[in-house]
Each structure stands twice: as structure tokens, then as C-alpha cells.
Structure 1
Amino acid sequence: MSNDVHEQEVGAEVVTSAGATMDDYFEPMRQKFESLCRDLNMDIKTESEAFKMLKEVLKHYSLEGEILHWFCCALFVACRQSTTPTVGGQNAVVMGNCVPLNNLLRCCQMSIYEFKKKIKLWCDMANMPHTFAQQMEELERKFSITFTIYKKYRDIFDQVFLCPPNEKNHSKNSKCSYIKLDDICWRLFLCAKNQKPTTTLDLVTSYNLMMCCIDLIYANVLAEKRTDLINPKFEGLPANWNSPDFDETQARNHCILAYFCEMFDEAKDMKATVFRNIMDSFFQTNTVVGNKETLLGLISNKNFERNFKSLNISYEQYVLSVGEFDERILGAYQHDASEHNNLNEQALRQPVTPLTRKQDLPAQPVMSEQKFEPVANATNNVKKLSATVSHITEPTDFVKRQAGEAAIAKMLQTIGEIEEQFVVKFPMRNEARNRFRMAKSLCFYLIDHILRDEIKTKPQIVHKISLDIFIRTLMACCTELVLEAYTTELKFPWILDCFSINAFQFHKIIEIVVRHGSNGTREGCLTRSLVKHLNSIEETCLERLAWKRNSPFWEIIDHAPKPLPTWHEVTADKAAGQLQIFLRKIFLLGWLRIGKLCSELNLGEKKSEIWTIFDHSITNKTDLMKDRHLDQIIMCAIYIYIRVTNMEGPKFSDIMKAYRNQPQAVNSVYREVLIKVNENGEYEQKDIIHFYNFTYVPEMKNFCTNYLAKNGDKNVNLLMSPHPTERPMVPRKLIHNHSLYVKQMSKNEMQQSPDQLVYVIRSSPSKKLDYMNKIVLGSGKRVLDFDDNAVNPIDTKRRRMEQQAILDDRKAERKKTTRQQDE
């Protein structure tokens, strides 16, 4: 949270016994930091920026645990924010300051698991921009996909290959031992996916590429007759693999993809096209040597060592140029079960279950008690879609008869235009047409089902087929489903930007797709996880995207009677306009979320009164929602009710803690709330406390006091405490384990208790300050920082609340993960 409390000016400089400033107490830390930077060969500018950031964080937080880990976070952020020119041209740069993350982790004695936890905390404490936090989320997602692939790689590699009993002795006489074979196979995959990063943006494609690499290495092992490395129990062995007649041609033609790829045709196509092109480029650039035609000879005694080193160099260059995780490190966790399990918790997770429309979810799979497996889930999603719709290449005869030639022609023209937009913007150019082809087939399937089910009760549905916006939103929804099925890195609302569709229009199609794609209890084309995804993105549209200031929703409101219809009014049969339907969904979503929060806060009996406050904010103070989030308004409604009715609790921190247990919760909702948009169009954001006090209360006070307060007392204090209106000259508490304060004192002011230790600037002996700092250092906290901009205890309390909120965020995330499997 941002600091909205004015800082108290002390106006005095504290000195140490030697007459030096308090910065001297940073010297041991600075020396350790500088030593780390020398080991990393860090440039001075990045080092300076990182230490400056570190000192700023230390002003407000106590950094618990190994200080080297926090050094790592500060340096990583500073490195990511810098670029390094290269010799490739005027605009050629590399990201990440040419310092690999692995080097940082190694020098700071930090695991990936610890780093992923602490970098999130660091981004919060250092108030990093939301864009940087998003970059970290994208980086983590990329790594999670690779880690998920590595787990499958580990299992499959151990099925097809065998570590010889005499591996240690054998490795001395052979250039390609089992361990080295493992290493070169994994490095081949890493280099292959980074050769064309846009070809492996989703989990299914990455898995197929990994299998192509194992398949190639397996053929090379067979061709070299390295029978000592072959697992004889693997059912995919050629029949005569161990006979003298087995030759290179048989090895080259042997394929094991069918044994591990449920989507065999797609994997086979990748092997013949994308993977073949990647290998050809490796031969052209001498990244690997061997037989270019057969792709054999890669692990021969003549070529193995050279290829192994070359692939390493190629991958290292890539890591340096983008500043990302060095994924070779995953091999280090092969024999470390505890670290492996920790990383496993951070891998791709089962989709959460939104609060709305749980009744529309398909039945749980029979094997739902098994642990969620990302690759299997993605494969199942794609297989079910493909099996249901892949044979559909055009509108069905039923649709053609009902719609007519003109409507069909217009529909196909619109779809063709959309396809070209998608092909241009979708990063995986090789797969763009295939992905869109499946989305188009799904669109034709859904149109058929929609017409068949609704034409009897809604004859106007036929007219919608010729409407551009109906086809665009339906195609966008179908494309989003295909991308989600493959577990792509391109997350919603990317598809809205791709097709130039606004969220207010898009949300209308989701309920229709859920109804006709899942078919309730009947067998449909959408799996349970895909329906969850649709429900989740609908909530995303309703809670924030549709409320953006450029949304057409605001134009509708401008022309609507004021106030807007209430919950009772939009449930009437006659209220069927787009505004009423939208508000109906908003009210339902708000009711469910308020109910869940009230239940956790033991406010169940107060839910109706809180709902009335929320209803008033939507219908009468609608501008409160502009560029904001529904949950922000809900939390403020709960708290203003507590204040008006003079309840002793819960506190706002309790409301946020309960909120974090909701499936859609993210900490940016209460950390980044719009306050105003300045003349330059820049958004000023602060925490929800500032929003509540200075925006929400002025708008809602009169209604809430008239509705709830005894005798309509409009003078009741609704502001969130603590929040001073002026800057009182009060002591500043510096640490919490000991009662140490800083305050201004008059010359006549005396000690107030026998146990109180006072240090008076420029008059007390230096040994008193030495003693006080020994107490501070002994507590494990930072030394006293007597600066000229000391903050008051209110600010200190807020800092403690902020730090606790950050820790609570992490705990809530872990609890969510454990609940997902049950849902």
C-alpha cells in the first residue's frame, strides 16, 4: 500500500560517537553487497541502483532471513530494468544486463523456489510498477510450463533409456554416458524451443517438441548400437533392435511418438515440419554436426562432445540476451526430492472455480481424485474439442437452411477477416492457421446447437447470424477456448485486443457458449476446466473490464434514466434490455461475493443492509465503478456499514484477509485503486484506504447515515482510522521488540519513567547511542535511522499492516492451491 500519511519533520541529525552519520551502519552491509557484485562482475550503475533500492526498502521493512537473498532480488530487478547495446546495430540490445539469473542464484546461495517466493515480496515492498509485476508473472508462467515439461521429460527419458550398472567406469571410456545423454537431450529441447520461441507458447506444443527431441536422440542411440543405454523393457523397441542386422535406416525410420503422444498426428506433423526446420537451421549454423540428411551421428564418439558444448554455448547466449531463467538448472533437482516437490507446487495449477454458475459445470471426471496433471489436462481438453468438432469444416446444412445464402456469405466473410487479424497477431505463425481452423469448427458446431435449441423460443436468433458483432464475439470466444485448451501463455484479455472487441460486448456471448458447449449434464464439447475458464473470464469482464472508461457501457448509461434500475427492477420479465441484463449479472455477482465475505467475517445477519449500500453505489453512484473493480466497492460497502453502525469490528484488514480467500482475489485490487486521471491522461493510483477515505466516503456518506445511523446522525466519523487530518508532533516508534521512539523535546522536558533511556542530540554522551544501537542490532532489526523525514507512529503502524498484508497474500495463495483440487 502507498503511504498517504504526511511524514513528520524532526529537523535534527543524529550522529554516532565518532561524529559520522548513521549511514556508517550500512557499511558492513554495503561491503557484503559490493563483494557480491564483484563476484558477479556487476557494472557500477546497476550496482548503485540496486543498493539504492535496498536502502529504500530497509527504511520501511525489516528483511528477515538471509540478506543475500534480498541482495539477489534487488540486483535482479535492477538488471531487468537495464539494457546492454550489442554490436548487432544501433538498435540491437540485450535484456538483463548480461548477468544470468542462475549466476545470481548461485552466488546468493538461493534456490529457484526461494527466489520465486521472495521476488514477489520484493516487488510489493519496492513498489514496483504493475507492468513489472506482470513481467514477473509471465516469466513464472513460462518457467512453470518448462518445469511441467521437465517432469514429463524425466519420466519418459527414464522409461526409454537405462543407466548401465557400471556407469562410473563406463563413462571414463566413452564420450556419451547415460548422464551426458540425459544432458544433451534436455539441452537439445531447450535450444530447439528457443530457436523459434513463438512456436512453443503453449503446453501441448512444447510437449510435442520435447517428444521430438527424445525421439531423435533415441534413434541416434539405436543407430550407434549403444544397447547399454537402451531400456529393454520399453514396449516401443524395434523387434530386431539387438540383432547384427539392425542398421541406421531402421533406426532412422523408427518412431516412438505414438507411445507417448495421445495427439499423435499433431506430434508427427511437428516432427516433419517445425522440428525438421529447426534441426536444419542447427546444421546450417554448425550448432550441431552429423548427418544432415538422416539427423544421425549426433552422439557418435566423433561428434558428441563437440555437439554437447555447442548446444551449451547456444543456450547460454540466449539466456544472456533475454535475462530469463536458465532452464538447464532443472537437471540439478533430479536427485533432490524436497526441492523437486517445492517446485512442483509452483507449476501450472488447476483452474479455480468461480462463484457464479457452478451449476453449469459438467460432472467431475471419474478419476477426479487423482492429482491435477497439466499436460494430461491440456491434452484432454484438445482431444475432446478435436473429437467433437474437427470434422466440421463449414456451416451445417441445418444452419444453411435456416439462415439463407446471404447471411451465410456475410458470416463467412466476417470470419475470413477475423482469421487474417489472428494470423498476423498470433505469435506462433506456424500454428496460427491450425488453431484458428479448430476455433472455426467449434464456432460452426455452436451455431448449429444454438439454432436448434433456441429457434423455437427465440426466432430472432436466426437474424443474429448475419450480425457482425455476434459472429466476432462468438469467434473470439471459440478462439479463446482453443488457446486455453492448449494452455497458452497468451492469457485473456489478449483475444479481445486481437479481435478489437470490447469486454461489454464480449461478455454477452459467454453464457450462450457455456449453455450450448457443455450441455449441462449431457456430454458436450467443453471439459469441466474449460467451462471454469469461461465462467472466470465472464467474471473478469463483469468485475472490471466492462467498467473501463472507454467501454460502450458508459454511453448506454448516459442515455438511461437515472437512477439505474435496482435489483428488483432488473428481475422483472419486462426488463430485458442490454443494460438490464448486464446489471442483473452484476447484482448476482455482487450478491454472491458479499455473501461469501459476510460469512467469513461473521456478518451473515448484516448481509441485506450491506447489499443495500452496494446496490445504491451501482445505481446512484455509478461513476465510482469507472476504471475500478467491483471488489473495491464491495469491501468499502462492508466497512462503511461497520463504521456507521459503530460496530467494534471487523477491521478493514480483516475484510482484506477474507477477500483473499475468494477465488478471483488478487492483491492489486486493494493496492492499486484509481484515484484520478490527470490532464495528461495518466492514472493516479493509491491504496484502497485512500480511495475509501477521500473518494468513497464523500459519495456514500449521506445515503449510509440516513439509511443506517441512529437518528440520521450525519456527523458520524466514517473515515478509516488511523488517518490524521494534520501532522501531530508525536513520537516515532522505530522497532517493535523494544520500545524505542524518536520525538522532539523541549529543554525542560524530563524523563517520564525510570526505565526510559533518552538520547538528546548534540548533548548526550555518545556511549548512550552506542548502547541503543546494540539493543537494536541485538533484536535482529536494522539500526536506528534518525533522518530528517521521520514518520509518525501512524505511518509505522501502516507499514506493519502493509508487511503483514504481503505475508497474508502469500498464505492465501497457498490455501487457494490446496482448495482447487477439491473443486
Structure 2
Amino acid sequence: MSPKKRSTGMPLNKEIKQNNIVVSAAKEEISELSIDRHKDKDADFVTLSEKLKINNEVCDRAWSIWDSVRASMDIVLDTNLKVWGACLFIAATDLEVMTFTFTEVQKAVDLNVKQFFNLLKKLDVNMDTISTKVNGAMTRLEKKYEVSRALFQRFEKTCGKVYTDASEAKREDLPDGKRIIRTCWTLFLLAKGRVLQVEDDLVISFQLLMCVLEFCIRHSPPSLLLQPYKTAANGLGQPMTRTSRRNHGKAKPRPPEVDLRLLETLCKENECSVDEVKNVCLTSFAAFMESMGLSGTEELPEASELSSQYEELYLKSKDFDARLFLDHDETLEMSNIDFTQLERTPKKNQMGEEPVVVPPQTPVRAAMNSIQQLRVVLASASDEPSDVLSAYFKNCTVDPTQEITDRVRRLGEHFSRRFAQAVGQRCVEIGSQRFTLGTRLYYRVMESMLKSEEKRLSVQNFSKLLNDSAFHTSLLACALEVVTATYRGTGGFGGGVAVETDLSFPWILDVFQLVAYDFYKVIESFIKAEPSLSRDMIKHLERCEHLVMESIAWRGVSDGGLGLEGGE
């Protein structure tokens, strides 16, 4: 049973901002806990409060929550400590005085991630304890954990195919391969934390992981590498961010030279787009490596130095310590599901045998498959009007060609900037790449719509429609919502529902300052015009449609809609 306040509904009011991943860092000049002041409370509760370095205000609030819990729930014997931990987390989050990390409170009360989240949800269901602020912090932590866990599972699997001694990388006397694995994962955590403003973007995080793996494999001793990586890495002498000496000292050096052999091998093995990963490597990752002083380095950085830098990020964010994935720490363990089994291709069913149940896909595999399907559909499409579309434009009473292309260019620049603001300032190029895919889909669907209307109405002059700015902006927004939702992923974390992030609907309406009802009016036509849309994507667009109608029903909108009927 899900908590009452953990609604999956997506607010349409653009002024409603999403909660931060975690609550803000501890406020300045936090008073120390006064033991004498809390003699009325259980001694073990006070000891826990002291261990987590909370102040008097948080202690009092948490005890008040505990009193409410005791009055409304049956507490199982010997679980007081665990419930106290949840109460302290709730109080510290509400008061924005977080003196401990999520991992620290987990370890203090001996709960893993799933157990802690389930306890918080139980408190919400039984006594409506969880505020919007706590719910937001909890949701973001949970999503970040799910993404990190999925990425570590893929990382571990990939390292098993790359290095000769990749197993059991948690011993102290680490051989070279295991030490490199630790360095690689920690470098990735740093890259993700510094490149991405919000770390719940599975796809960009995965692409960054490919960049980090390429860097570490390229700097690994050949004797540690397995095929095909040993061959791919053989002879790679230049780092990805090397620039020509002729440009040394100039304000605008030429683009870095890249040997794609190793990157192509990684992308092929992990079934992801080499063009997209290359773009991340040459923009976001290259800037990160430059900031770390690692551009052009011939050796891997010291693991201890990387760990110290990550420690700062971890203590500032107040969430879980993702380095503990390497140790298979119990605080990050969620279940005994072996995700390596989920990625095996199921055997074909033979005549007379029981039907073979296809195992669920891992989040990474599900995301990569959805993206690949979209890219295949749009491979032959253009980000400029086709000859067929140009003919429709020229048949209009007023030719809309220039206005359409100018609008696309202007909205593209704006989209890329807003994408970077939401995801990370080093991600402008990634936003531009996503917009290009959206533009291709926009022109493809527009052409399909016009062909259908020409056949239905026996007319070729759609001047009124094609000169309607709201129609074009809405259609482009719908295409971009499809692209954004595809990259956000559906079904990977269970339930077939897209993972909500800062780019979730109605973000695109806010970006384009688009009236929700204008967007609503193109959805049905969009779905009819694009036969390649998956069942999950159609459901997603229908959810957007319902959310718009729910939000504007009170306004009494009487506009009959854009409609494609009748060209003028």
C-alpha cells in the first residue's frame, strides 16, 4: 500500500517547484544537544540523538513524532530504535537541520535502504506523518538510489568482462585490477556528482559511466585486460582530451582528437549509441576531467585522493555513500535478485513445452532498448522540412517556411539552455542533441498529419493551420515530450511508469511558455499520426492529456480546439 501523499500525479502549475534531492545542509551555528534538557525522554533515544549530532529542536520534534507514532500504531518489540531513526530523519528534514547523512542514520539503526523507505511509508499510511518536504526528499533519495544501484550492477557486470581479476573487489590487499575498479567507480561518482545537477538521470549517468570506463581501461596494464578490450585498447597512446601543440596557449584550441576504437567496443558491448556517448565524452566529461586536472594524464589518479573528494560531495549532499556498493554493504542491499540473470536472452520455446516466461529487463537495458528503437525510427528522418513538407508550405496562401524554421531554431536554443539548467550546466550539447531528435519527430509527424488530411479532405492548402504558431509549438513540444520521456525511461524500475525527474511533464510546457490546452489539442492527432509509438509511450501521452484536462476543467475553456479540418 503506497503512502497517501506519494502521488504520481505531475503538477501543472509551473510555479510549483520540485523538492531538492535532499534537504539543505545543516544550518549555521547549530546548538549542541543538551542532555539535561531531555531527561524526560528515553535514554537510548537521547543516545541515538547524540550519536547523530542533532540539536535540541530536532530532538524535541522527533520525540513529539514518536509520541504520535506510539498513540496510533502497534510498535513491535525491539523496533523502537528503528522507528526513532525514522522520526529523527523526518524531524531533521522538516526543520532543514540535517546533521547526519542518510547512510549514517541507516547504520545507527541497522536498516537497509528498502527497510528504511518502507518504514517511512508505513508511518505515512498509518498516521499521515510525512510532510511534502519529507516526501520530496525521500522520493529523490529513492530515485537516486535506484539509478545508482542499476548503474553499479551494469558497472560490475562490465568490469567482469574487462578485467582478469574483477571479482571480490572489496578486499584490502587489492591486486591491480581490483584497485583500478575502485578508482573507476569513485571517479564515476565524482563525475556524476559534478556534471549533473540532479543525479537521477539514468541515461546521461550511464553515458558518463562509459566515458569513465574508457578512460580507466585505456590507462590499465594490457595484461589485466580481457578481449575484446585488450585489442581495442592496444596502441591507444593519446588521451581523449589531447589538443595539438600548435594550438597550445590559444584561446580556442581545435576540438580534441579522439580514437573511438575502445569507446565503440564499450558501446557495442553495452548496446548504446556511440555518437551520444562520444558527445558526452567531448563535452561534459572532457570539462570535468579538465576541472580535475586529469586532461592529458598518462596515469590513473590515486584512489585515495578521489575518495577524499567524493567524501566532500557525500557529506554535503547528506545522502547515501555510493562507494559502499563496491563492498556490497548491507545498507545498500535491497533484495537477493540477481540482475545478471535478468539480462540473459530467454531461450526460444520448443513445440510441446511450457511457455517460457521472459524475465524483466534491467533499468539500463530497458532504457537503452527504448532509445535505440526511437533512434531507428528517426534514422531516416531529417531535422529540416522534407521535400513533401516544403511542397505543402509552398501551397499555402502565406508560405510559412521561414517562420517555421526560425521558430525551430529559436526554440532549440532556448530548450538547450533550459535543459542545462535542469540537468547540469555542462549538458547544453546533450540538450541540443535531444532537441534534434525532437525536431525530426516533429517534422515526421507533421508530414503524416498533412498527408492524412489531404486524403480525407482532398485539399492541399493548409495555410491557416501551418501559419498557427500555437499549433507548431504544441506539436514540437509533444515530439520533445516523447523524446524526453524515452530518455527518462519507462518500466525499468517496475510498474511501467516513467521515472519522474526535473524534466518530467509539464516541464516542456514551462520551457516553451505553452498554454496547457494548446498542447492538449494536438495529443490525439499526434498519436494517430505516429504509428511507431510504443504502448507505454501512448499511455504516457494519455496521462499528460488527462492531467491537462484535470488542471484546466475549472477554467471553463470553451475553445473547440485547433482541429485539422479545412485548409484555408
Q: Normalising to structure 1: TM-score of the pair?
A: 0.52
1:238 aligns with 2:238: no
Which of 57, 61, 67 is the aligned partner of 1:49? Answer: 61
Match of 1:321 in 2: 316
For each residue in 1:758-783, what CA deviation from the matched residue of structure 2 results, as whole angstroms up to 9, or x when unmatched? xxxxxxxxxxxxxxxxxxxxxxxxxx
Match of 1:33 in 2: 45
For each residue in 1:189-225, what CA deviation from the matched residue of structure 2 results, as whole angstroms up to 9, or x when unmatched? 1110111223865322111111111121112212xx5
Determine helix, strand or coil for the equivalent of 1:556: coil
Separation (CA, whole Å) in 2 of partners of 1:168 and 1:424: 41
Separation (CA, whole Å) in 1 of partners of 2:170 and 2:484: 46
Q: Equivalent residues in 2 for 1:295-694 (5 A)?
A: 295-298=297-300, 307-333=302-328, 339-341=334-336, 369-390=358-379, 391-404=381-394, 406-426=399-419, 427-428=422-423, 429-430=427-428, 431-458=430-457, 459=459, 463-487=464-488, 489=501, 490-518=503-531, 524=532, 526-542=533-549, 544-547=550-553, 549=554, 551=555, 554-556=556-558, 577-578=560-561
Separation (CA, whole Å) in 2 of partners of 1:43 and 1:308: 35
Distance 1:368 1:200, change over 3 A: farther
Separation (CA, whole Å) in 1 of partners of 2:417 and 2:285: 22
Determine helix, strand or coil for the equivalent of 2:368: helix
Separation (CA, whole Å) in 1 of partners of 2:266 and 2:417: 32
Distance 1:371 1:168, change over 3 A: closer
Which of 270, 276, 280 is the aligned partner of 2:286? Answer: 276
Determine helix, strand or coil for the equivalent of 2:219: helix
Separation (CA, whole Å) in 2 of partners of 1:217 and 1:318: 22
Aligned amino acid, residue 378 of structure 1: A
C-alpha contact (below 8 Å) 2:439/2:479 kept by paired residues: yes
Determine helix, strand or coil for the equivalent of 1:158: helix
Separation (CA, whole Å) in 2 of partners of 1:280 and 1:324: 27
Separation (CA, whole Å) in 1 of partners of 2:413 and 2:239: 43
Distance 1:112 1:29, change over 3 A: farther
Determine helix, strand or coil for the equivalent of 2:438: helix
Match of 1:151 in 2: 153
For each residue in 1:644-701, what CA deviation from the matched residue of structure 2 results, as whole angstroms up to 9, or x when unmatched? xxxxxxxxxxxxxxxxxxxxxxxxxxxxxxxxxxxxxxxxxxxxxxxxxxxxxxxxxx
Separation (CA, whole Å) in 2 of partners of 1:337 and 1:40: 19
What is the CA-CA distance between 1:476 and the residue it aligns to?
1.1
For each residue in 1:479-526, what CA deviation from the matched residue of structure 2 results, as whole angstroms up to 9, or x when unmatched? 1111111117221222222222343332221111211112xxxxx3x3
C-alpha contact (below 8 Å) 1:455/1:462 kept by paired residues: no
Distance 1:383 1:239, change over 3 A: closer
C-alpha contact (below 8 Å) 1:451/1:462 kept by paired residues: no
Aligned amino acid, residue 407 of structure 1: P
Separation (CA, whole Å) in 2 of partners of 1:137 and 1:168: 30
Determine helix, strand or coil for the equivalent of 1:457: helix
For each residue in 1:49-94, what CA deviation from the matched residue of structure 2 results, as whole angstroms up to 9, or x when unmatched? 22222223323223347222222221222222344xxxxxxxxxxx
C-alpha contact (below 8 Å) 2:58/2:88 kept by paired residues: yes
- Aligned pair count reads 469
What is the CA-CA distance between 1:126 and the residue it aligns to?
4.2
Separation (CA, whole Å) in 2 of partners of 1:310 and 1:214: 18
For each residue in 1:379-435, what CA deviation from the matched residue of structure 2 results, as whole angstroms up to 9, or x when unmatched? 222223223335502111211211236322222333344334423322234222222
For each residue in 1:548-595, what CA deviation from the matched residue of structure 2 results, as whole angstroms up to 9, or x when unmatched? x4x4xx1429xxxxxxxxxxxxxxxxxxx44999xxxxxxxxxxxxxx
Aligned amino acid, residue 361 of structure 2: F
For each residue in 1:310-340, what CA deviation from the matched residue of structure 2 results, as whole angstroms up to 9, or x when unmatched? 2222222222222223222323438999844
Which of 54, 78, 86 is the aligned partner of 2:91? Answer: 78
Match of 2:265 in 1: 259
C-alpha contact (below 8 Å) 2:232/2:265 kept by paired residues: no
C-alpha contact (below 8 Å) 1:50/1:74 kept by paired residues: yes
Distance 1:250 1:53, change over 3 A: closer
What is the CA-CA distance between 1:268 and the residue it aligns to?
1.8
Separation (CA, whole Å) in 1 of partners of 2:149 and 2:180: 19
For each residue in 1:236-294, what CA deviation from the matched residue of structure 2 results, as whole angstroms up to 9, or x when unmatched? 222795xxxx78559996853323323011112222222121111112xxxxxxxx453
Separation (CA, whole Å) in 2 of partners of 1:109 and 1:341: 18
Q: Normalising to structure 2: TM-score of the pair?
A: 0.73
Give the gaps of 5 or more residues in structure 2. Answer: 5-37, 241-257, 343-354, 490-500
C-alpha contact (below 8 Å) 1:443/1:478 kept by paired residues: yes
Aligned amino acid, residue 442 of structure 1: L
Match of 2:72 in 1: 60
C-alpha contact (below 8 Å) 1:446/1:516 kept by paired residues: yes
C-alpha contact (below 8 Å) 2:236/2:259 kept by paired residues: no
Q: Which moved more, 1:139-148 or 1:453-462?
A: 453-462
Give the gaps of 5 or more residues in structure 1. Answer: 3-25, 84-95, 284-291, 300-306, 348-365, 519-523, 558-576, 582-823
Aligned amino acid, residue 386 of structure 1: R
Match of 2:183 in 1: 184
1:161 aligns with 2:159: no
Distance 1:278 1:69, change over 3 A: same
Aligned amino acid, residue 467 of structure 2: S
What is the CA-CA distance between 1:135 and the residue it aligns to?
3.7
Distance 1:247 1:274, change over 3 A: closer
C-alpha contact (below 8 Å) 2:438/2:483 kept by paired residues: yes
Separation (CA, whole Å) in 2 of partners of 1:464 and 1:367: 50
- Sequence identity (%): 21
For each residue in 1:120-151, what CA deviation from the matched residue of structure 2 results, as whole angstroms up to 9, or x when unmatched? 23344343333542342233222222221111
C-alpha contact (below 8 Å) 1:220/1:296 kept by paired residues: yes
Separation (CA, whole Å) in 2 of partners of 1:536 and 1:411: 28
Distance 1:341 1:382, change over 3 A: same
Match of 1:122 in 2: 123
Aligned amino acid, residue 129 of structure 2: N
Q: Equivalent residues in 2 for 1:211-230 (5 A)?
A: 211-222=210-221, 227=223, 229-230=224-225
Aligned amino acid, residue 477 of structure 2: A
Q: Equivalent residues in 2 for 1:662-741 (5 A)?
A: none
Determine helix, strand or coil for the equivalent of 1:318: helix
Distance 1:148 1:546, change over 3 A: farther
C-alpha contact (below 8 Å) 1:440/1:478 kept by paired residues: yes
Aligned amino acid, residue 466 of structure 2: I
C-alpha contact (below 8 Å) 2:441/2:479 kept by paired residues: yes
Aligned amino acid, residue 503 of structure 1: A
Aligned amino acid, residue 218 of structure 1: I
Separation (CA, whole Å) in 1 of partners of 2:337 and 2:551: 34
C-alpha contact (below 8 Å) 2:169/2:181 kept by paired residues: no
Separation (CA, whole Å) in 1 of partners of 2:153 and 2:167: 24
For each residue in 1:414-468, what CA deviation from the matched residue of structure 2 results, as whole angstroms up to 9, or x when unmatched? 3344334423322234222222121111101111111111222245755322111
